[in-house]
A = this chain, B = another copy of it.
């Protein structure tokens, strides 16, 4: 497959949620290096400070100096106003030269992993979790697809940052597993409906991020918690950079089946 691999993502508009830290931040950095001149990044997150620091970093990078547009949107993707401001910024950053729109649905929350499913009696808590982690990614994706409809010469790619939790149940992770399973299915339906669209559910593996720290310290189930600690102690946790490199390779090769769930551990190490 590598023989057909492109070396860039095109003149792209890349929209990335949860871009201020962790995996989203790494994706923003990597994408900035893989897009052609004339491209734009729209980076969304709740934390304005972190986002602006990233914007400054990218502006000073080689791509930034070559004219890469980096727009920051301080927004909560769990609120409709947040989604609207991301779409508005994306429309403004778009130009007729753009030949590839890439949306990376990365923003997510872990949910309260310190409790078991039988403790979730508060509908408002579950509703809020699903709104942020499921509804928002459907509504943002739909809005972006409407803002940039199918037309000759425009490629469109939607990435869902998924997890092994979309496929396997983990004790005391009911919200996270439920949300990830829901998102995977949502994007599988989308892939069935829109044959011109490229849809990828990418499970990045256990990453050295704040979310993993939270998982290691707060997971209620002792054996799950221990397995995270062991993973960390044994150096099995991946860097965001290593996992992101695999994701970028998938996007450059562009040969995955649209709608597929691809786990980093499914990929060969080449």
Chain B CB within 8 A of A233 CB: no
- Whether B135 and A193, one on each chain, are in contact in the complex, defined by CB atoms closer than 8 angstroms, is no
| Stretch binding the partner chain, chosen from A19-27, A31-39, A49-57, A136-144 | A136-144
* Residues from chain B with Cβ under 8 Å of A83 in the complex: 123
Q: Decide if A130 is an interface residue (CB 8 Å cutoff).
A: yes
Q: Mark A147-186, 1 if CB is under 8 A from B, else 0.
A: 0000000000000000000100111111001111111111
Stretch at the interface among A40-48, A112-120, A236-244, A262-270: A112-120
Q: Is A231 an interface residue (CB 8 A)?
A: no
- Judging by beta carbons under 8 Å apart, are B130 and A117 in contact? no
19 pairs from A and B in contact (CB 8 Å cutoff):
A80-B122, A80-B124, A116-B194, A117-B138, A117-B141, A117-B186, A117-B189, A117-B194, A118-B145, A123-B135, A126-B131, A127-B131, A130-B131, A170-B192, A171-B189, A177-B189, A181-B182, A182-B182, A193-B221
- A contacts, CB < 8 Å to B: 79-80, 83, 116-124, 126-127, 130-131, 134-136, 138-139, 141-143, 145-146, 166, 169-174, 177-186, 188-194, 221, 259
